Amino acid sequence: MTFRLHDADAIGLAMDWLEACRSQQATAFSERYAEAATFECECSGLATLVGRARILEYWRPKLAAPPPRPFKLEQIWPDAEGVALVYRYRESALIRVSFRFDRAGRIEHSRCRPEPQIPFARPPEKAIRREPHIRQPASKHPFGG
């Protein structure tokens, strides 16, 4: 018997979804969804798909992408309706996927959209304090002693 994370919690279910993506297992990926699941994609326009077969049809080209690791997890957390995770597809921008699960542990609704990337703040150049360079006397010992 194999242990599956989803036996424990919704985050484990989402990780099972991601692992099916990483391992390019279309059948395992498809089995994560309920038969009448819905999927909304806001990555390039708005698309709503209904049903496991239509969702798999959308994802199949992404699942078939050659390695290295086309789905890289960046963050995962519980949210109001289930679980959200952020991943990087190949070297592209970050994508957020939200999941809502049914009682059987299958995805009944998922939604993907670009994840905004917040640049690191850098203080203004004049706010950076610069110390004058102080030259230390050279040591005669080869190891600085």
The confidence score (pLDDT) of residue 4 equals: 46
The confidence score (pLDDT) of residue 141 equals: 53
The confidence score (pLDDT) of residue 34 equals: 97
Token pair recorded at residue 75? 């963050």
The confidence score (pLDDT) of residue 1 equals: 34
The model's pTM is 0.71
Compute the distance between CA of residue 102 and CA of residue 87 in angstroms, rounded to an integer. Answer: 23
Closest CA to 18 of 79, 103, 83, 91: 83
The confidence score (pLDDT) of residue 98 equals: 95
The confidence score (pLDDT) of residue 81 equals: 83
Phi/psi of residue 79, each to 5°?
-130, -175
**pLDDT under 70: residue ranges of the chain:** 1-8, 67-69, 90, 118-145
The confidence score (pLDDT) of residue 5 equals: 45
Query: Are 101 and 13 contacting, i.e. CB atoms less than 8 angstroms apart?
Result: yes
Q: How many CB atoms lie within 10 A of CB 39?
A: 22
The confidence score (pLDDT) of residue 7 equals: 45
The confidence score (pLDDT) of residue 100 equals: 95
Domains and CATH numbers, the chain: 5-117 (3.10.450.50)
